[in-house]
Structure 1
Amino acid sequence: MKEKIWCIIRPNLENGEILNIGIMGTGFFVSENKFVTAHHLLNESVFVKNKLYNNDYIILQNILGNRIKIDLHNNINYYPDKDLTSIVFDEKFEYFEMEENVNKNEEVKNLGFPSAHIKDLFSIKNNKFNINKVVEQNGNILEVINNFSSRSNDVNIEKKKVIVTNYASFIGFSGGPLLNKKGKAIGMMSMLVPKGNDNLSGKVLAISICEIV
């Protein structure tokens, strides 16, 4: 299963060589050629060079060492109203089966690459880097909301079905799959519920898979 989890990596380049990297988040395939992740981490701005990153492409890599380079020439579609970016490839990849039916209190887990643990997750040697592990979080569904809207920092969700878990999450997990106990994708990790939302504040929210396919 963990080979189906892709880390989204922004490289800092000098003369074509990778000096260092930053973990942007996580993504996964929902069909043999359609990749999805969160819009707030993968959008047009990440292909623009800045003081920290001298890059014109982004890297997708899984724990097996499979690597995909993407740039603005790829077939990328942005859906900010559901915090979604999708990329369609010509090649075929392993993907997660999906399940749209979910229930409150159902056991769930998510997998990804928390950026705070970058030194443990990655090793770089001779301009090559390896993913050492994929991190897993576990819990239950706290709430399913059919018409959720939120404008919080860089995430703007408009009247979408979402799944709220009973646990918090960390930077780097965004864009990864929320899985049921059968290992099927029921959602895509998005954001923490903003303050002021009763007992849901601070819990992690996933966009329902029915909004993604």
Structure 2
Amino acid sequence: MLDGPSLLAYPTDIEAYGRLSALLTIGNMRAEKGEYHISRADVYAHRKGIIFAVVMPGMLNRRFEYEASFITAVADCSEALRGQLYLAATRSYMGNDNKLIFRTSQLPDFYRIPVVATGDVHYHHPARRDLQDVLTCVREKCKIQEAGFRLHQNAERYMKEVAEMKRLFRKYPSTIYNTMVISEACNFSLDELKYVYPE
């Protein structure tokens, strides 16, 4: 969002998927190709039936805390999206995961926003890492030899098995439980979509 944190969105039914599509269309019409300009007001207007998870920053400040401006924006979102908002805890394998997840796990004590385990998934199987790198190069209009830091730093962005997620978040079992809560709430499948052709 332009005026708030990035959000993951999980539509729970086909109507919510329609609202999410409308939200993305609004954001797309306001920006150049490949970008979206969406505000908090836009999200709030289209929120019905959608579960959101805040994408947490990948860094803490010098006091090993999230910046106050970020926390303020999350608190605002929590008021408007009460019961629909989670904090996304992710292991990125960048060396500071434990500190980030610990700080994230403290926020529910103050803001009553549950934490959910996520994977920052970009491909379904580890063998697809090379394809992900190629797609990144296509998007960035560069050769693989020139991509450098535009590529992910490791090969951990794949969809992990339940047992592996439980191991990674064993100190925070509620995050796995919340993943199941979201999964069970989302009764929507892309198979439900049907094209409606003009007459």
Q: TM-score range by the shorter chain?
A: under 0.3
Name whichever structure is richer in helix by fraction: 2
- What TM-score comes out, normalization by structure 2 length? 0.25
Between Structure 1 and Structure 2, the one with more strand by share is: 1
Q: Highest Rg: 1 or 2?
A: 2
